[in-house]
Amino acid sequence: MSNASDFKRIVSNFLLSGALAALAVFAISLALPKFWRVTGRVVVFPSGQPVSAAQNLAAEVGNTAWIINSDTFQKNYFDNFQSNFVGAEVARNSSIVVVKFKSKEKDIPAIEDLIVKIPSQVNEYARDLYGGSPFKYKLVGEPEVSAGYVEPDLRKNSLWGFGGGVILYWLYWLFFGSFPAGKRRISEEEKETFSEPVPASPVPAKPDLAKSAEKKEEIPSPLITPESTLKAPTQKEKNSVSPLSSAPDNLPVADAQDISQPEYREPTDEEVKERLNKLMRGEL
């Protein structure tokens, strides 16, 4: 979607540049000097002497156009209006030579008089060239003046201005618009490509059963309290033990002794602690 909008914007800029340039050229053309077109038609025909001149009429029409276009003829007969001469050409499928001049409005009468004299001037020039007058030259009608000025050509200049504006904008876009814009687009794409990824939501790790088993195996067995840290039960605690409490099956039973006998003695605290420790360690 953005590419289509960029293309439309570029095309609009091209058209706008061409239109502005065409308008500027049109305005400049209005300020230029204006020239009208003045045209004369000279017909060529054989004079009758020699008779073979009629056979060379087509070639002579082309020679007449060449004579009028020559620098020597213009210097000798056009005087100060040499720069106003546009050219002479043969009318298609005819024996007529069309002579064209451009003239400012104030010089139109002088150009018309100059065109009227061209047939006699060509006759004089050809007589010296051929050594005779095998052909005659005559002006057909009066010189024709264009209805309006032909220079500057506003339509032609506007078209050239439009084309020039398009080319200028194309050069500007090529060197100052396309490459930097292209670099900016590339850099933006690179930033998007190499941008830091958004951290995903943490996924709870699966419990490692093997490690859990190892940890369970590493759980230390109940600590055996050193003998030095055990507190010997007091006589009160001994007396508070219920005689009805059941004793462990593996509890060693002392040999029955008669308390009244003189060999009988009550076990010491150290002996009691030692027996308790052995009981806890499973040695009894």
- The whole-angstrom separation of Cα 219 and Cα 12 is 80
Query: 177: helix, coil or strand?
Result: helix
- The whole-angstrom separation of Cα 82 and Cα 73 is 10
3-state helix, strand, coil in the chain (%, to 5): 55, 10, 30
- Taking residues 136-142, what's their average pLDDT? 92
Check whether residue 139 and residue 166 sit in a common domain.
Answer: no
156 pLDDT exceeds 70?
yes
Confidence of residue 274 (pLDDT cuts 50, 70, 90): confident
> Which domain covers residue 50, as residue numbers?
34-151
- The whole-angstrom separation of Cα 89 and Cα 5 is 53
Check whether residue 135 and residue 99 sit in a common domain.
Answer: yes
Which residue did the predictor score with more confidence, 109 or 209?
Answer: 109
Residue 243 domain-assigned? no
Residue 208 confidence (pLDDT): 54
Give residue 79's region: left, alpha or beta (phi > 0; psi -120 to 50).
left
What is the CATH classification number for the domain harbouring 125? 3.30.70
Confidence of residue 195 (pLDDT cuts 50, 70, 90): low
252 pLDDT exceeds 60?
no
Which residue did the predictor score with more confidence, 54 or 148?
Answer: 148
Count of domains observed in the chain: 2
Residue 179 confidence (pLDDT): 47
Residue 7 domain-assigned? yes
Name residues whose C-beta falls within 8 Å of residue 284's C-beta, 6 or more positions apart in sequence: 250, 251, 252, 275, 278
Check whether residue 25 and residue 165 sit in a common domain.
Answer: yes
pLDDT tens digit sequence for 170-180: 888 888 865 44
